[in-house]
């Protein structure tokens, strides 16, 4: 009986401490539950890359806890870049490579993050997609050039799903065929890529230390 009387308050104190810890953890989880932000920026002169970007957005937006911002490279502002947890760049192939406008956007990412963070894209994800007029006429070069820039800036690059559309480096569409433009298969692959990118970015952020 004596033993119980001495021991009981100590157990209660321990229990109270544990409950307080659990409450703190739950409160912390609440903070971590702020949405993961993905910026999809694209350049498009004749609308094809914009269509692929819209499909990527659909896939990304299907992931719970993810907020997706779809912007042309000209519309994407400094704040959009700074606040993003992941950045996706869509480009048309221009002369076997990414377009000058897309390249300028990559340079702007470096400039913006260079000013706001010591380690540029460290802790953020990145991915690419493109459209081109003909088969095997620069799609790999365009995507690899953008991927190289993202890697240089310390982003973690997430590749594509390659259903049937040659999208291991990120989705692509050949738009000069018959009929021309972005077809349903291209869009389906882009949606799957968007979903994968958003899901993996969410998982990465959830596991990341603040």
Site string for ligand FMN, 165-194 (x = CB under 6 A): ----------x-------------------
Instruction: Among 38, 39, 49, 172, indicate the residue that binds ligand FMN (CB under 6 A).
Output: 49
What is the token pair recorded at 119? 């380690």
* 93 counts as binding ligand FMN under rule CB under 6 A: yes
Q: Which of 110, 119, 122, 98 is nearest to 170 (CA)?
A: 98
Enumerate residues 6+ apart whose C-beta is below 8 A from 175.
48, 131, 132, 133, 181, 182
Instruction: Among 8, 14, 35, 46, indicate the residue that binds ligand FMN (CB under 6 A).
Output: 46
Residues 122-141 that bind ligand FMN (CB under 6 A): 131-134, 137-138
* 28 counts as binding ligand FMN under rule CB under 6 A: no
Of the two residues 7 and 95, which places its CB atom closer to ligand FMN in the complex?
A: 95
- Dump strand ranges (E) for 74-194: 86-94, 97-98, 125-132, 156-157, 172-174
Start-to-end C-alpha separation, the chain: 49
Of the two residues 65 and 133, which places its CB atom closer to ligand FMN in the complex?
A: 133
Enumerate residues 6+ apart whose C-beta is below 8 A from 168.
159, 160, 162
Of the two residues 131 and 201, which places its CB atom closer to ligand FMN in the complex?
A: 131
Enumerate binding residues for ligand FMN (CB under 6 A).
44-50, 92-96, 131-134, 137-138, 175
């Amino acid at each position: 009986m004596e033993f119980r009387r001495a021991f009981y308050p100590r157990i209660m104190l321990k229990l109270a401490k544990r409950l307080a810890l659990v409450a703190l953890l739950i409160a912390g989880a609440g903070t971590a539950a702020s949405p993961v932000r993905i910026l999809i920026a694209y350049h498009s002169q004749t609308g094809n890359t914009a269509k692929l970007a819209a499909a990527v957005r659909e896939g990304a937006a299907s992931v719970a806890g993810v907020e997706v911002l779809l912007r042309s490279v000209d519309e994407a502002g400094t704040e959009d870049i700074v606040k993003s947890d992941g950045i996706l760049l869509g480009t048309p192939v221009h002369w076997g490579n990414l377009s000058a406008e897309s390249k300028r956007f990559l340079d702007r990412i470096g400039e913006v993050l260079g000013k706001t963070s010591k380690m540029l894209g460290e802790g953020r994800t990145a991915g690419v997609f493109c459209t081109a007029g003909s088969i095997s006429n620069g799609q790999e070069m365009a995507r690899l050039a953008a991927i190289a820039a993202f890697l240089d800036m310390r982003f973690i690059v997430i590749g594509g799903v390659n259903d049937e559309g040659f999208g291991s480096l990120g989705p692509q569409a050949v738009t000069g065929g018959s009929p021309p433009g972005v077809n349903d298969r291209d869009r389906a692959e882009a949606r799957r890529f968007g979903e994968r990118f958003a899901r993996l970015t969410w998982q990465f952020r959830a596991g990341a230390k603040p």
